[in-house]
Structure 1
């Protein structure tokens, strides 16, 4: 709680608290601040103190005011309009119904803010406390630290002379040949027919997707994406100047009727899809939907970037578009950050032969090459079966954590908008999760509101939880007290 001191007023403290969160991107562009009355209740201060604090944020250009609607976090990449401060008093409505979902959604639609890529990425790295974070995108560190074979593999590769050889040259443009051979065998086990010459290693799966976009698209091109979906991908495409076309994602895959209509109207150049253990819902593509998607790609002449980031924890025989069409119109993307070592940043793509040179040129323009020492160490872990056994341990731990997390969520009054599967849960809280996110920050928890998983920010009652970091009752007690 805020405490008055001789040198810091409650107004200054409250303004600083919000300012820090906005600058750290814990409150992303478009997020609605609590109503004056609601904020006063949460912080234990008077409405006058809240009004004065919001005025300070407005004067600093951190928020913008909407008459009779409230205050919204500004996109810090935009310039502050002149005379912004003078608009503050007219925009404040202390009597408006606080915390109502209808009002919040209307305000956000009026604000019309797009997801800001930098804001979201910075938020991924900011931890408000040492507690397990329900909105985290990675598995618990203790789970990943079980992979002690990683350091042993690095030492073995370094002792072989590869450290000296690889440190003073750029290495192979497409990536370490041994790793690409190992990946080709791995993909063959998933019925994806890729040779080592069709595989390019990257700095994580995110860079692989970026390479695909930059190589195949130009500014203004329409791109189909699944909604809800990975917020950083929406933001990245938007930052590149693409026209993002959301397609609703259901249990079996994208809404095929909507997808077909968008194809007819806009002639998309690319479809970005998470076929297996979709983020945030956990859905996996059905064979029938996969077949129809490939028909649409053929009919309307677009490529498919299949992001299989969660393939390491997926069911053994999950449907993948790349397997069904044999890498004809699909570009398969994956990596090892989720299962192994987030900071190693090793990802890869497997592409149709006629696209490989174009994709490689794009990689060379951005990173020249990728770190051969770590790639050789990873190849060793794959070849010796250590990665496979580690994946089995992670799947078991995740299944146990998922059961505990689901039970706690249900006991807290939540429901699941999608059948719990994989790493993430898509939870309906019954309240506006944009507002809830701000309350949870006071408790030291960073949650992932449902609005972050839509191409245009619209508050909703959903949030994404990480099953690995929400198995402790302490979080759910804080959640209940914040409703």
Structure 2
């Protein structure tokens, strides 16, 4: 556990990392910051002296302490609270991506390769290979591949979202789409709202933009409206990011009543909402969408194809107001000299237009529906219980037996080469110690359950 001195040091590092204190700017007075942190002035003196020794700040005689002028790169891992590896979003992402292909990965965020429509992808790749030389050689246009945007426009219309191709921008991935929106709308030191719990890479991405993260408790019907209203009044955030359907990690779906209240509060508090809808095709039937109810006025829709088609052929998209799309195009040109690979967009359009894709998704929804119940029963036999039973998708957000520390369990499981996703990696407040997210599609190895049981016993 961090000492009080270390807590003060981390608080100053966060202010420096977020831009709340600029280089050369004076730090809070020792007595004032002691009151803010509820520690003694001597604790703040020790923290400031240690930061000065590190070169992070410097003292001016009879004036106080100031942020150092530094051109050293700031590591993302240093921007925010210092977390155990097992619950640090960056570390968990790296473990999932770098794990041995054969290693059990109940904590990862994708389905097994054998479950994906690889036959459709192979046909699409062969078709793209017969395209003209320009597709195989040139940059894409600034508005990206037109056929895929037209396809997405029709798909969004089926969901009640009217967005012509001109209101859709293709990006290199879903994460890239969110990054572009953040570049457009956020400045260092701004505050953003996320669900608590939320997809852990949201937190890592916001660290990169040096903004302050504020968590709002999530319920089976959506964000806790009372706490959302409190956060809006107190923090005056610029953005709120959420998954309306098949929320990651909980699997919950927002109710129509809660969705209306979210949009009402957004209008009152001039809040922009990013609706990351990456799991929409896993739903058995359509649920409420903030983008549809709002008409893409202050809601920005984000999506990608990494969960349903391929995480290797990377492509995402943004649907938003025309003026924002124009500004995002300029940003994409500046940062990426255009959109996603035109070859990737062509491959995806072929695969999506293939009649086999619709049948693939229908079969996948049925397969996952059966598997969610099966995995829930097997987890129940070792004392792990789902928070809710989701309507679709491949995640189960589960409560561990009382007293079990998810991070300690993940550490014990990793010793057996099993990658888990403990609850606190998803929680800005670090209030989900006894929860764990499981990917039911990655639970086929019968050795996983004994390994989980051993890890729980080691962490209990």
- Alignment TM-score, normalising by the size of structure 1: 0.74
Which residue is 2:377 aligned to?
407
Q: Quick one: which of 106, 109, 129 aligns to 1:134?
A: 106
> What displacement does 1:457 show?
4.1
Task: Give the structure 2 partner of residue 464 of structure 1.
Answer: 437
Q: Note the residue ranges of structure 2 that are not aligned, 5 or more in a row.
A: 3-50, 55-80
Partner of 1:435: 408
**What does residue range 71-90 of structure 1 map to in structure 2 within 5 Å?**
none
2:130 is aligned, of 133, 143, 159, to 159
State whether structure 2 residue 347 is matched by structure 1 residue 374: no
What is residue 276 of structure 2 aligned with on the other side? 307
Counterpart of 2:38? none
SS in 2 for 1:244: strand
Using a 3 Å threshold, how does the CA distance of structure 1 residues 173 and 478 change in structure 2: closer, same or farther? same
| Displacement of 1:110 | 9.6
The residue aligned with 1:171 is 140
CA contact (8 A) 2:191 2:214 kept: yes
Decide whether the 8 Å contact of 1:434 with 1:459 is kept in 2: no
Summarize the alignment of residues 91-106 of structure 1 with structure 2, pairs less than 5 Å apart.
none
| 1:338-396 deviations in Å (ceiling 9; x for gaps) | 11111111111100122111111222222222111121122122233333222112212
Q: CA deviation at 1:129?
A: 6.8
Q: How many Å apart are 1:453 and its aligned residue?
A: 0.4
Within 5 A, what are the aligned runs for 1:49-448?
Answer: 118-127=90-99, 130-144=102-116, 146-161=117-132, 164-369=133-338, 370-421=340-391, 422-430=393-401, 431-448=404-421
1:150-172: CA deviation from partner (whole Å, max 9, x where unpaired) = 111121122132xx112332111
Whole-angstrom CA distance in 2 between matches of 1:293 and 1:459: 24
Aligned residues of 2:275 and 2:299 also touching (Cα < 8 A): yes
CA distance in 1, matches of 2:97, 2:84: 26
Distance 1:389 1:241 in 2: 43
CA contact (8 A) 1:332 1:351 kept: yes
Q: Tell me: CA distance 1:233–1:137, structure 2 relative to 1, closer, same or farther (3 Å).
A: same
Cα distance in structure 1, aligned partners of 2:82 and 2:333: 42
Gaps of 5+ in 1: 1-28, 31-78, 83-108
Give the Cα separation in 2 of the matches to 1:270 and 1:137.
24
Q: Distance in 2 between matches of 1:363 and 1:390?
A: 33
Q: Using the alignment, how far apart are the partners of 1:233 and 1:253 within structure 2?
A: 17
SS in 1 for 2:350: helix
- Per the TM alignment, residue 114 of structure 1 is displaced from its structure 2 partner at its CA by 12
Give the conservation status (yes or no) of the 8 Å contact 1:401–1:471. no
Equivalences for residues 20-39 of structure 1 within 5 A: none
Deviation of residue 276 (structure 1)? 0.4
Which piece of structure 1 moves more, 323-332 or 126-135?
126-135
Structure 1 residue 459, shift from structure 2 partner: 6.2
8 A contact 1:115–1:456 mirrored in 2:
no
Summarize the Cα distance change of 1:303–1:113 in structure 2 as closer, same or farther, 3 Å threshold: farther
Query: Counterparts of 1:415 and 1:395 in 2: how far apart (Å)?
Result: 22
Aligned equivalent of 2:453 = 480
- Please report the TM-score for the alignment, with normalisation by the length of structure 2: 0.78
Distance in 2, Cα, partners of 1:390 & 1:373: 23
C-alpha contact 2:86 2:410 (8 A) present in aligned 1:
no
Q: Distance in 2 between matches of 1:120 and 1:113?
A: 7
Q: What is the CA–CA distance in structure 2 between the aligned matches of 1:128 and 1:167, rounded to whole Å?
A: 32
The question of whether the paired residues in 2 share the 8 Å contact of 1:252 and 1:284 is answered with yes
CA distances 1:71-112 after superposition (whole Å, capped 9, x unpaired): xxxxxxxx9x98xxxxxxxxxxxxxxxxxxxxxxxxxx9979
Distance of 1:302 and 1:406 partners within structure 2 = 37
Counterpart contact for 1:333–1:349, Cα < 8 Å: yes
Q: Indicate conservation of the 8 Å contact 2:240/2:273, yes or no.
A: yes
- Runs of 4+ in structure 1 off by over 6 angstroms are 109-115
